[in-house]
Structure 1
Amino acid sequence: MKRIIVTALGALALAGCAPQRLEGPAAPVTVKIIAFNDFHGALETPGRAIELQAADGSLVKVPAGGAAYFASAVKSLRAKAANSVVVSAGDLTSASPLVSSLFLDEPTVKALSMAGLEINAAGNHEFDRGADELKRLQRGGCAKLTRVEPCQIEPFKGASYTYLAGNTIQADGTSLFPGTALRSFGSGRRKVTIGFIGLTTRLTGNYVDPAGIKGITFADEAETANKLAADLKARGADAVVMLVHEGGYPARSDQPEKCDGLSGPIVEIAKRLTPAVDVIVSGHTHRAYICDYGATDPARPLLLTSAGNNGVMLTDIDLSFDPATKRVTAKHARQVIVQGDGVTSSAGPVKPTAAFPTFAADPAVAAHVARYAAAAESRAKRVVGRASGPILRDEHDDMKESPLGLLIADSQLAATRASGAQVALMNPGGVRASIMPRDGQVTFGDLYTVQPFGNNLQVKEMTGAQLRAVLEQQFAKTDGTALLFPAGLTYSYDLSKPEGQRIIAPLIDGQPLRDDAVYRVTVNSFLGGGGDGFTAFKAGKDVAGGALDLDALEAWFARGQVVDPPALGRVKDVTPR
C-alpha cells in the first residue's frame, strides 16, 4: 500500500516539476461532398424561376441555374472546406437545350470540367447517342459517331472528370466504365479515404435506342453496389458514397431539404443495401430531397440526397470522421440554390430574392457559354411559326395527356400520311419542355428544346391486335406506367379490368379498331426499337422511313396558320372510383 502511495506522490511531484497538458479527443476530419444530378446541358439560365419555400414558410420564385453561376457556387463551397470533392449522379448531357445539344454537348462537358467536377455516375440519357459516343465524351477527340459533326467550334479534349457505371455489363462480363473510385483527404494519421460507387438505372436499356448499346446489359443497382462496397472496404475505404442514376418522388416539390412521403425505385434500392454505404447521391426523377434514411431503417443510417435538375441547386454534404478510428461520426446535408442575377420568364422578369444567397457569374465559364451561344444564336432565333399561346407538357404525371404531346403526335401523323400512316403515337419522355411563344412567335430553338434527340420517324404495319397490345402495355410495363400520346386514335381505359382487357372502344379515324385488320402506325425510332419498355412495337413490320421528328414538328408550325394547343380528351380514364 505504501509503495502505491509513494509512487502516486512521485507522479504528482513530477507533474509539479513538468506540467503536462491533458489532450482531449482529436478534432474530426470533415470532407465536403458537393453533389448534383441531371444537369442536361443547361448552360444558360433557364427562362423560368423555380418555386421554393423560404425560411418563413412563404413560397418564393427564385431565378436559379446557369453554368456560370453554378461554377461560382461550387467554387464558393470549396473555398470554405479544407477537404472537398465534387460529384454527380448522371444525365449531365443529352436531352439538352440547343446551345449544348447542337454541339454534341461538348460545351457542357467542358463547362462542368471547368467547374471542378471530379466523378460522375453515367445516367441513361448519356447513352442516348450510343456507348461509343459516351466514351468519346470521356476520352475526347473528334471522331464522327453520330449524324452531327463534332468539334465544330474547337478541338474537344474530353471530360476532366471520371465516368463510373459499374453495372453496365458487356458481353465479356466486364463493365463498360469503371464501377468505383477512391479519393483520400488529409495526411498522416488524419488521412481518410472515401470510396465512390457509380451506377446507372438498370432500366437504361428501356430508355435509349437499343442500336447504341448492343451487347450491354444493365445489372441490378443494389446487388452491384453491395459487391462494389465490399471491394472498396477491402481496399481501405473508410466510407462509401453511392452515386446512382435512379431516384424517388417526395410528396412536395417546394421543400428540397425534406423527403416527406418519399416513394419510388430509390426507396427499394436503399432497403437492399449493405450498411457499408454511408451516402446515396441519387437522380433521374428530377426531384430534390434530403433524407435521413436511418430514421426509417436504423440498420442503414445512410443519408439520401438529390438536387433536382438543370443545375438549379447543389447538395452540400459534410461527412465527419474520427481520425483515430476512421469511422464516420456525423453526416449533414443542405441544398444550396444556384441563384444568379435574375431571369426573364414568359410572365416577365424575375429578380433575385433575398430569401436565398446570390452568386456572381464565373467569368471564364460565362465567356465559354457565350461563345457557344453566339454560334447557335442564328439557328435558335429563326422564327418557324406562330402559336396562340403556351403549348404545355405535363411535367409531373406521365399518365395524363398534354397539349404538346398531342400536337407532336399530330405533326408526326401529318408528316407520314403520304406513306399511308393512319395513327401516330408519341412517348411522354420525348417531350422535354413546353413551348412558350414570345409575342406569338415560335422559334427553331423552342422546338429543338422540345425534341433534342433527333429520332427518325418510322411507319410500321401492325394488326389491330398488335396495336391493342401496345396500348395495354402502357399499364403493364415493369418500369412504371406511361400514356402514349395518340393522333388518329381515341379510346378509353379501365384499370379495374384484367390485363389485356383494359382498352375500351378504340377508334381509328372514327371507326372501331378490328383485331384482324392491318394499320399503319407512326412512331419515332426510339419507340420503334422497344424504347421506354414498349417492346410490343417490335412485332410491327417496318414499311417506310420518315423525316426527323424535329423536322415534322417544324413543318407543322410552318403551315402558315396560328397553332392552337390541341384539346384534351383523346384518351379517357373510365376506371371506377
Structure 2
Amino acid sequence: MIRPRTILACAAAGLTVAGLAAQPAAARPAPTAAVRLLALNDFHGNLETPTGSSGTAIDENGNAVPAGGAVYVATHLKRLADRHTLTVAQGDLIGATPLISAAYHDEPSVQFLGDVGVTASAVGNHEFDEGYRELQRIQDGGCHPVDGCSPAGKWKGAKYDYLAANVILEKKNRPVLKPWTIRRINGVKVGIIGVVTKTTPGIVTADGIKGLRFDDEVASANRSAQELRKRGVHAMVLLVHEGDQVKAGSRPDDCGVVPGAGTRIAQEADPDIDVVLSGHTHQQYVCSVKDPEGQPRLYSSGSSFGRVITQVDFQVNTRTGDIVRSSLKGDNHVVTRDVPPDPATQTFVQTWKQRVSAIADKPIGKITADLTRVPSPAGETALGDVIADAQLAGMKDKGAQVAVMNPGGVRTDLTFKASGSEGDGVVTYGEAFAVQPFSNVMGVTSLTGAQVDALLEQQWTAAGEKILQPSANLRFTIDRSRPVGDRVSEITIDGKPVDPSATYKVAANNFLLGGGDGFSTFTQGKDQVLGPIDLDGFVAYMGAQGTIAPPALNRISVK
C-alpha cells in the first residue's frame, strides 16, 4: 500500500538528484492499473419499478425523483461500466420481495442480477428468510424441494458468489458459503470479502438459521484479509451487510452518517482492506474513514430497491498489487427513469409478470379506506391491528386467546385506490403479499400473565422502540416516562385484567415465537403449536370479513 510518507520520501529523494542524473527507477511513479467497482445493495427483488416512497430517491440537487426498476438499473449499469469494471453487491438482494420474484423463490431476481454482471455479493439477513439450505440451493442450483421447478425450468444457480465470512456452520466450524473470492481485472487481482450483520439471529426466523453461528464482522473480515494476503492479494474490498443512518434529506454523495455499527466495521477492519461498501440500513452516503493505521478508506452505501448505483474508481499499483488510496473516488448515481429502459430486461420482467399475474390479480377482499402503517401516538397502526386480528382468527382452532404482530413484518400499506383494473377498495393477492412477503408460519404458545407483561416490556430496548400490534381483545397502557422494564400497565384480555399466575395462549408468527426483534420472552412459552403461513391466514380473514374498515386506534393507551 502506498502510504503518504512513502510518497514524500520518494519526492525528497528525487530532489536530491535533480540535475545530476536521471531519476532512479525506485523514484519514478509506480505503474498502475485502473479498476472500477459498481455496486448495488438491498435490491429486495424489485424487478418492477418500485412505487410510492420506495420508488423515489433524493438526487444531487436535493430533489425527490422517480428511481429504480430493473429495466433502468440495467441501462445505468451499462452506461457506467467500462472494460475494467467489477459489479458487486452488499446483500438483501432477495427476501422480502414483491410477488413477481417471491412466487418463484427469487430465482428471477438472482437471474437478473447475474445477467447484469454482479460477480460477488455479501449475504444479507434476508437471504436467510427461507433458511440457509434454500440459500445454498439458490447459490448452487436445483429445483425447489417442495414447489419444484419454476416455469423457466431447472434452476442453474446464481452466476455470482454469495460471500459469508462470518456465518459459520457450528458442527464443522467453517463458513456456510465462501468467505471471500478473488477477481482478476485489468491485469491485477482484487480480493472481495463478504460479511453480514452479526445481529442476524435476532431479525430472522430462528429455524432457518439453526446450526449457524454469526461471528463478529470485523474479526471475520480480518481472517479473510489474512487469507488473501497469503495468496498475494493486497487490493481488498469488503462488502458488508450492515450500515448507518443519515440525516433526513441527505444527497447521494453526502456523508451525514450517524456513526454506528457500519462505521465501527469501516474503521476497525484490517488496514489492507481499502474499500468498505455497506448496506442494510437503506441509506445513501459516500464517506472517508480512517483505518487502524490512520489512512483514509472509502466507506459508502447505495440506498435500496435498485434506486442508487455506487461507483468506486481507483488505481492499483502493479508492483505491490495494492490500491493507491489517494486515487479512491466514490460517486453514488441515482437510477433515474429518464433513460431508455433496457430492452432485454424489459422482456425478461414482462415474461415473469405474465407468469405471476394469474396469482397476483386475484381479488381476496375489500377495504373501505386505506389501511396504513401510520402510527398513533402509542405506536399502533390500522394495518398492524388488522393483521393481528387475522392471526387470532387463523389460530382460534389452536386455542389462541390473543395475538400480536411485529411492526417490521408489515412491509407496505393497503390503499383504497385501485393499483390496476381491480377497482377501488379491492385487495388483490399480490397486494396482500406485498404486505406480508416473508412466508412466516403462525403459531400459538402458552405464556403466564407475568410473561405477557414481561413480553410487552420488551417493546423498548437500547436500540429503540418496537410496539407490538395487538388483536382487538388485548389492551394495555404505556408510559414512556417510566424506566425501561416498567412502562406497561393495565393489561386486559377480553376486558378482564391479566392474572400474573394464569396461563394465556398467545398467537404470533414464528419469527416472534423464536425470539425475533428481541422478544425473547416468547422462547419461554410452552406447548407451542404451529398453523398455516401468515399470508394464507390473512387472505382467509379478508375473505371471511368481506369488507374491512380501518379500526379505531384505541387498543394501546398512553399516559
Q: Partners in 2 of 1:302 and 1:508 — Cα distance?
A: 55
Whether the aligned pair in 2 keeps the contact of 1:398 and 1:482 (CA below 8 Å) is no
Q: 1:303 aligns to what?
A: 298
Q: 2:77 aligns to what?
A: 74
Moved more, 431-440 or 302-311: 431-440
Deviations 1:62-117 (A, max 9, x none): 22222222122212211xx2311011011111111111100111111111111111
Q: 1:339 aligns to what?
A: 336
Q: 1:121 aligns to what?
A: 122
Alignment map for 1:248-287 (pairs within 5 Å): 248-287=244-283
Deviations 1:314-343 (A, max 9, x none): 111112234455441321111222223xxx
Task: State the 1:249 CA deviation.
Answer: 0.7
- Secondary structure (helix, strand or coil) at the match of 1:392 reads coil
Q: Partners in 2 of 1:54 and 1:37 — Cα distance?
A: 17
Whether the aligned pair in 1 keeps the contact of 2:56 and 2:307 (CA below 8 Å) is no
Q: Say if 2:404 is the partner of 1:391.
A: no
Q: 1:140 aligns to what?
A: 141
- Secondary structure (helix, strand or coil) at the match of 1:232 reads helix
Whether the aligned pair in 1 keeps the contact of 2:61 and 2:251 (CA below 8 Å) is no
Equivalenced residues, count: 526
Q: 1:433 aligns to what?
A: 412
Task: State the 1:225 CA deviation.
Answer: 1.3
Q: Partners in 1 of 2:86 and 2:106 — Cα distance?
A: 23
Q: 1:541 aligns to what?
A: 526
Match of 1:376 among 356, 376, 385: 356
Q: Partners in 1 of 2:558 and 2:239 — Cα distance?
A: 38
Task: State the 1:254 CA deviation.
Answer: 4.6
Whether the aligned pair in 2 keeps the contact of 1:476 and 1:499 (CA below 8 Å) is yes
Gaps of 5+ in 1: 1-10, 16-22, 341-357
Q: Say if 2:26 is the partner of 1:38.
A: no
Q: Structure 1: which amino acid aligns with 2:399?
A: G
Q: 2:513 aligns to what?
A: 528
Match of 1:507 among 492, 502, 512: 492
Q: 1:276 to 1:376 in 2, by over 3 A?
A: same
Task: State the 1:185 CA deviation.
Answer: 2.4
Gaps of 5+ in 2: 1-19, 419-423
Q: Say if 2:210 is the partner of 1:214.
A: yes
Deviations 1:174-226 (A, max 9, x none): 11111111222223xxxx32211101111222222222222111001011112
Q: 1:556 aligns to what?
A: 541
Q: 1:350 aligns to what?
A: none
Whether the aligned pair in 2 keeps the contact of 1:210 and 1:529 (CA below 8 Å) is yes
TM-score (norm 2): 0.87
- Secondary structure (helix, strand or coil) at the match of 1:551 reads helix
Q: 1:178 to 1:543 in 2, by over 3 A?
A: closer
Task: State the 1:311 CA deviation.
Answer: 1.0
Match of 1:234 among 226, 230, 233: 230
Instruction: Indicate the RMSD between aligned Cα atoms, in angstroms.
Output: 2.7
Deviations 1:208-253 (A, max 9, x none): 2222222111001011112222332332223221101111110124
Task: State the 1:494 CA deviation.
Answer: 3.5
- Secondary structure (helix, strand or coil) at the match of 1:129 reads coil
Match of 2:453 among 446, 468, 487: 468
Task: State the 1:456 CA deviation.
Answer: 2.0
Q: 1:363 aligns to what?
A: 343
Task: State the 1:421 CA deviation.
Answer: 2.1
Q: Say if 2:468 is the partner of 1:484.
A: yes
Match of 1:318 among 304, 313, 336: 313
Whether the aligned pair in 2 keeps the contact of 1:200 and 1:221 (CA below 8 Å) is yes
Q: Partners in 1 of 2:173 and 2:545 — Cα distance?
A: 55
- Secondary structure (helix, strand or coil) at the match of 1:483 reads coil
Whether the aligned pair in 2 keeps the contact of 1:253 and 1:288 (CA below 8 Å) is no
Q: 1:3 aligns to what?
A: none
Whether the aligned pair in 2 keeps the contact of 1:51 and 1:254 (CA below 8 Å) is no
Q: 2:175 aligns to what?
A: 175
Task: State the 1:420 CA deviation.
Answer: 3.4
Task: State the 1:297 CA deviation.
Answer: 8.8
Task: State the 1:394 CA deviation.
Answer: 5.3
Q: Partners in 1 of 2:230 and 2:377 — Cα distance?
A: 43
Deviations 1:368-412 (A, max 9, x none): 2211110110111111122223222259x9993332222211211
Q: 1:29 aligns to what?
A: 33
Q: Say if 2:437 is the partner of 1:452.
A: yes
Q: Structure 2: which amino acid aligns with 1:537?
A: F
Q: 1:184 to 1:413 in 2, by over 3 A?
A: same
Q: Partners in 2 of 1:63 and 1:46 — Cα distance?
A: 9
Task: State the 1:51 CA deviation.
Answer: 4.3
Q: 2:4 aligns to what?
A: none
Task: State the 1:482 CA deviation.
Answer: 2.2
Q: Structure 1: which amino acid aligns with 2:329?
A: H
Q: Structure 1: which amino acid aligns with 2:411?
A: R
Q: Partners in 1 of 2:454 and 2:85 — Cα distance?
A: 51
Q: 1:369 to 1:51 in 2, by over 3 A?
A: closer
Q: Partners in 2 of 1:55 and 1:173 — Cα distance?
A: 46
Q: Structure 1: which amino acid aligns with 2:199?
A: L
Q: Partners in 2 of 1:239 and 1:53 — Cα distance?
A: 32
Q: Partners in 2 of 1:244 and 1:93 — Cα distance?
A: 16
Q: Structure 1: which amino acid aligns with 2:365?
A: G
- Secondary structure (helix, strand or coil) at the match of 1:447 reads helix
Moved more, 163-172 or 384-393: 384-393
Q: Partners in 2 of 1:311 and 1:559 — Cα distance?
A: 37
Q: Say if 2:134 is the partner of 1:112.
A: no
Q: 1:376 to 1:320 in 2, by over 3 A?
A: same
Q: Structure 2: which amino acid aligns with 1:104?
A: H
Task: State the 1:423 CA deviation.
Answer: 1.4
Q: 2:402 aligns to what?
A: 423
TM-score (norm 1): 0.85
Whether the aligned pair in 2 keeps the contact of 1:253 and 1:287 (CA below 8 Å) is no
Q: 1:349 aligns to what?
A: none
Task: State the 1:573 CA deviation.
Answer: 5.0
- Secondary structure (helix, strand or coil) at the match of 2:198 reads coil
Whether the aligned pair in 2 keeps the contact of 1:257 and 1:289 (CA below 8 Å) is yes
Q: Partners in 2 of 1:480 and 1:239 — Cα distance?
A: 38
Rg: which structure is higher?
1
Q: Structure 2: which amino acid aligns with 1:432?
A: R
Sequence identity, in percent?
A: 38
Moved more, 417-426 or 217-226: 417-426
Whether the aligned pair in 1 keeps the contact of 2:122 and 2:196 (CA below 8 Å) is yes
Match of 1:65 among 68, 71, 81: 68
Q: Partners in 1 of 2:485 and 2:510 — Cα distance?
A: 25
- Secondary structure (helix, strand or coil) at the match of 2:499 reads coil
- Secondary structure (helix, strand or coil) at the match of 2:476 reads strand
Q: Partners in 1 of 2:29 and 2:267 — Cα distance?
A: 34
Whether the aligned pair in 2 keeps the contact of 1:71 and 1:114 (CA below 8 Å) is no
Whether the aligned pair in 2 keeps the contact of 1:88 and 1:243 (CA below 8 Å) is yes
Q: Say if 2:160 is the partner of 1:157.
A: no
Whether the aligned pair in 2 keeps the contact of 1:275 and 1:301 (CA below 8 Å) is no
Alignment map for 1:409-420 (pairs within 5 Å): 409-420=388-399
